[in-house]
Amino acid sequence: MQVEKFYYDNRIVKNFAYATILWGVVGMLVGLYAALQLVFPSLNVTQYGTFGRLRPLHTNAVIFAFVGNGIFMGVYYSLQRLLKARMYSDLLSKIHFWGWQLIIVAAAITLPLGLTNGAEYAELIWPIDIAITVIWVVFGWNMFATIIKRREKHLYVAIWFYIATLVTVAVLHIVRSIELPYSWLHSYTWYAGVQDALVQWWYGHNAVAFFLTTPYLGLMYYFLPKAANRPVYSYRLSIIHFWSLIFLYIWAGPHHLLYTALPNWAQSLGIVFSIMLIFPSWGGMINGLLTLRGAWDRVRDDVVLKFMVVAVTAYGMATFEGPMLSLKNVSAIAHYTDWIVAHVHVGALGWNGMLTFGVIYWLIPRIFSTPLYSKKLAANHFWLGTLGIIFYAVPLYWAGFTQSSMWKEFTESGQLKYAFLETVTYMKPFYAMRSLGGTLYLIGACLMVYNVYKTAKAGKLVADEAAEAAPMIKEEARHKGEHWHRWIERKPMQMMILALVVILIGGAIEIIPTFLVQSNVPTISSVKPYTPLELQGRDIYVREGCYTCHSQMIRPFRSETERYGEYSKAGEFVYDHPFQWGSKRTGPDLARSGTGNLKKSDGWHFRHFREPSSMSEGSIMPPYAFMLTQELDTSSTAAKINAMRTLGVPYADGFELTANEHLLQQATGIVNNLKADSIRISPTKEVIALIAYIQRMGTDISKQKNN
Amino acid sequence: MFKFIQQYAEKIENIAVYPMISLMVFFIFFIVLLLLVIRMDKKAVQLLSNLPFNSNEESTIQTI
């Protein structure tokens, strides 16, 4: 057989590696800044730098910029070698690279400007959503065309993980991004309330599964054996790992919504599948760690293996903790607290971060054809990273437990023991310690920047690395007695379709009934659409990312109904596009801010927005004084009403024409209330709309009682 | 068509049976998978797990 000579494209790998490092440092820096804002609220400078706008920037930067580029770096390196082929098209690789970086830059500009969809990890506005779809297709096209022209008959397990990632992320992104634009930069999500919540956490959970986990498992199955120089412990286990993981993961989303207004059957479904997820996850972890059997002595000297061992161990810890957190009784304690923040950082810093660093230290010297500049610096990075994770996670686990206990503690006479604010100020030392952990981790990453820079400078990029392989013999038919999985390993399209079917089963069974069966969301007749002013106020609430710190979902516990009022019902959210239940209570729940036990006057809210600590001493909420001077954009009111009507909100025909009159009338009422409180302000300022929304929240149900 | 399905689905009464169906679907899927994997040919397994290693591009740089 004639062998063919060809070249691997290392330039694209280098580009993605540099982008990974750059955005990693940026994402961590923003995260550290946001963490410090919780300790020193004065760091909330200007409207563009408040916690509510920076937190989405941090999460998007880390997930889609740092880990995203890390995925592409690893895929472009390993795919070419596993298939014995250069990437199908250099042009597509370039479009993919630059397109992805442009999307990141667009996100970095729009998020601080307050342009957001208000859904966690899906904040980016609709034009960017479309760009993501296009670039993802470019990536898929390039990957599949390479698979088709490959020289290796069989697809190694890493490639199945890449294929599953490709199709599932596409499905998740499209379903989550169905939205109705009402301007060039704004849109409303198609779903409302409970349905939006279910779609959101089906998406959110599987963004963790198919963006942060499956592609990185693919990288683990390639780079760990390479670094250890021995094949994976059990290939059979990897097949079981792959299929059960993608089958189970897709169902687990509802565990983010336990004790909420989500129908009970959907909650149970989420719990059962989350618990079962331990097995494939641990199967994968064990497979990774046992690959090092007989080579553990090398871990002492090889910094790449050290990073990988910590990464796989962190994966094991996070995937044990995840199912435990999905139990209702554990969720009752952990949900809304900093425990969850600790949990996700064990995954992000430990699993994604450490594996990325390991791959970079392994790969950069190879594509630059020179030894790593300093082993010692890399070892220091390893220790700073590992200590950083511990210093980050331990204080927050402690904080989460303490927070939850304080929220739930009653005095002997049956009163809540702590005001919410006391529980906030108590957290400050923990937040400070967490920032220290983050700083250590970031310093470690900076050492890597220097080390990689020096290595690259000492060597020279082997942009086109020569290789030789025989062309693949076409062998389409499945011959008699052949194992089914060997057959499917030759058939990438069938593999993709099978993976798609597997994930669609879970998605469909979970989501379709909630959409179709009316009894899932019992209607409440007194729940009415928002007035134009409240709608504008709600959009400001979304713009400012209030959901990053405030929930709107009171769970049916005595400790919550005592503090906030009647527990939340599914029927209360039918006009909420998007839903704003939130996932974290750095501040108190606001679901009944207009009627419940935390109800305040218009004047109180006005002063509180201007300077939160003047009304609540020790508050760590950012000041929103700019809303007192910023004019409300009433030119969008009609378009918003029209869009909402299209989505099924029963505004009367022609209401959009008089909506602004109605808006002004309601605003004047609030201005008069403020005047009585000796505050003078024009009715067209943003703060008035936000006060209107805050005062509306949760009031519909009490109207029903009064009737 | 969709309307038809929607009307039908609105009448489903025992929606709680869904989790049971789901569990059974996975259980069967898993058992079949397990049986197939156990029956895999040993030589094939060895060949597949060595895929990352039989490329000839291996640079011999001592990096660490």
Instruction: Please determine, for residue B5, whether its predicted confidence score (pLDDT) is greater than 70.
Output: no
Taking a contact as any Cβ pair under 8 Å apart, which residues of chain A between 339 and 368 contact chain B? 361-362, 365-366
Residue B63's pLDDT is 43
Take residue A707 and report the two structure tokens written for it. Answer: 């009737």
Distance from CA of B37 to the nearest CA of A (A): 6
Residue A173's pLDDT is 94
Band (B59; pLDDT cuts 50, 70, 90):
very low
Write the CB contacts of A302 (distance below 8 Å, at least 6 apart in sequence): A227, B64
Band (A368; pLDDT cuts 50, 70, 90):
very high
- Helix, strand, coil in percent for chain B, rounding step 5: 65, 0, 35
What is the percent of chain A where pLDDT is above 90? 79
Residue A508's pLDDT is 76
Residue B15's pLDDT is 62
Yes or no, beta carbons of B33 and A361 under 8 Å apart: no
Q: Kindly identify which residue of chain A lies nearest to residue B32, measuring between CA atoms.
A: A240
Q: Kindly identify which residue of chain A lies nearest to residue B63, measuring between CA atoms.
A: A371
Yes or no, beta carbons of A236 and B38 under 8 Å apart: yes
Mean pLDDT of the region A657-670: 95
Instruction: Select the residue from B11, B36, B37 to test the A interface by mutation, using most A Cβ atoms within 10 A.
Output: B37
Contact at 8 Å (CB) between A488 and A498?
yes
Q: At what angle do helices A126-148 and A90-110 cross, to 10 degrees?
A: 160
Residue A261's pLDDT is 76
Yes or no, beta carbons of B57 and A81 under 8 Å apart: yes
Take residue A7 and report the two structure tokens written for it. Answer: 């070249």
Instruction: Please determine, for residue A492, whether its predicted confidence score (pLDDT) is greater than 90.
Output: no
Q: What is d(CA A96, CA A177) in angstroms, rounded to the nearest whole number?
A: 20
Yes or no, beta carbons of A516 and B29 under 8 Å apart: no
Phi then psi for residue A139, to 5 deg, are -60, -50
What are the pLDDT digits (tens) for A437-469?
999 999 999 999 999 999 999 999 999 999 988
Residue A108's pLDDT is 97
Yes or no, beta carbons of A468 and B56 under 8 Å apart: yes
Q: Kindly identify which residue of chain A lies nearest to residue B25, measuring between CA atoms.
A: A505
- Helix, strand, coil in percent for chain A, rounding step 5: 70, 5, 30
Residue A486's pLDDT is 64
Characterize the bridge pairing of strands A4-9 and A464-469. antiparallel
Band (A365; pLDDT cuts 50, 70, 90):
very high
Q: Say whether residue A244 is in contact with chain B using an 8 A CB cutoff.
A: yes
Yes or no, beta carbons of B51 and A152 under 8 Å apart: yes
Choose between A194 and A71: higher pLDDT. A71
Q: Say whether residue B27 is in contact with chain A using an 8 A CB cutoff.
A: no
Residue B45's pLDDT is 87
Mean pLDDT of the region A258-262: 82
Residue A217's pLDDT is 96
C-alpha to C-alpha distances, A462 to A266, A312, A593, B60, nearest whole angstrom: 53, 30, 61, 14
Instruction: Please determine, for residue B55, whether its predicted confidence score (pLDDT) is greater than 70.
Output: no
Q: Say whether residue A157 is in contact with chain B using an 8 A CB cutoff.
A: yes
Write the CB contacts of A354 (distance below 8 Å, at least 6 apart in sequence): A307, A308, A310, A311, A314, A385, A386
What are the pLDDT digits (tens) for A321-360?
999 999 999 999 999 999 999 999 999 999 999 999 999 9
Distance from CA of B13 to the nearest CA of A (A): 9
Distance from CA of B2 to the nearest CA of A (A): 10
Instruction: Select the residue from A86, A239, A372, A521 to test the B interface by mutation, using most B Cβ atoms within 10 A.
Output: A239
List of chain A residues whose C-beta atoms are within 8 Å of the C-beta of residue B53? 225, 231
Residue A195's pLDDT is 87
Choose between B25 and A483: higher pLDDT. B25
Instruction: Point out the residue among A240, A371, A518 whose CB comes nearest to the CB of B63.
Output: A371
Residue A489's pLDDT is 64
Computed on alpha carbons and rounded to an integer, the radius of gyration of chain A in Å comes to 26
Q: What is d(CA A279, CA A256) in angstroms, rounded to the nearest whole number?
A: 20
Choose between A376 and B11: higher pLDDT. A376
Take residue A486 and report the two structure tokens written for it. Answer: 């060997």
> How confident is the prediction for chain A on average, in pLDDT?
92
Region of A229 on the Ramachandran plot (φ > 0 left; ψ -120 to 50 alpha; else beta): left
Yes or no, beta carbons of B55 and A84 under 8 Å apart: yes
Mean pLDDT of the region A228-235: 93
Band (A167; pLDDT cuts 50, 70, 90):
very high
What is the 3 state secondary structure string of A510-532?
A: HHHHHHHCHHHCCCCCCCCCCCH
Query: In sequence order, which ranges of A149-192 are alpha helices (DSSP H)?
Result: 157-176
Provide the residue count of chain A: 707
Q: Look at A75-84, A300-309, A595-604, A641-650 and tell me which has the smallest mean pLDDT.
A: A595-604
Yes or no, beta carbons of A225 and B52 under 8 Å apart: yes
Instruction: Please determine, for residue B60, whether its predicted confidence score (pLDDT) is greater than 70.
Output: no
Choose between A358 and B40: higher pLDDT. A358
Residue A497's pLDDT is 83
Write the CB contacts of A1 (distance below 8 Å, at least 6 apart in sequence): A470, A471
Q: What is d(CA A549, CA A115) in angstroms, rounded to the nearest whole number?
A: 18
What is the 3 state secondary structure string of A76-108?
A: HHHHHHHHCCCCCCHHHHHHHHHHHHHHHHHHH
List of chain A residues whose C-beta atoms are within 8 Å of the C-beta of residue B9? 512-513, 516-517
Band (A490; pLDDT cuts 50, 70, 90):
low
Q: What is d(CA A48, CA A54) in angstroms, rounded to the nearest whole number?
A: 8
Take residue A570 and report the two structure tokens written for it. Answer: 């599914």
Instruction: Point out the residue among B5, B25, B36 whose CB comes nearest to the CB of A484.
Output: B36
Q: Say whether residue B19 is in contact with chain A using an 8 A CB cutoff.
A: yes
What is the 3 state secondary structure string of A539-589?
A: HHHHHCCHHHCCCCCCCCCHHHHHHHCCCCCHHHHCCCCCCCCCCECCCCC
Taking a contact as any Cβ pair under 8 Å apart, which residues of chain A between 462 and 491 contact chain B? 465-469, 483-486, 489
Concatenating the DSSP letter of every residue in A191-241 gives --HHHHHHHHHHHHHHHIIIIIIHHHHHHHHHHHHHHHTS--S-HHHHHHH
Residue B62's pLDDT is 42
Take residue A582 and report the two structure tokens written for it. Answer: 């939130």
Taking a contact as any Cβ pair under 8 Å apart, which residues of chain B between 44 and 63 contact chain A? 44-53, 55-57, 59, 61-63
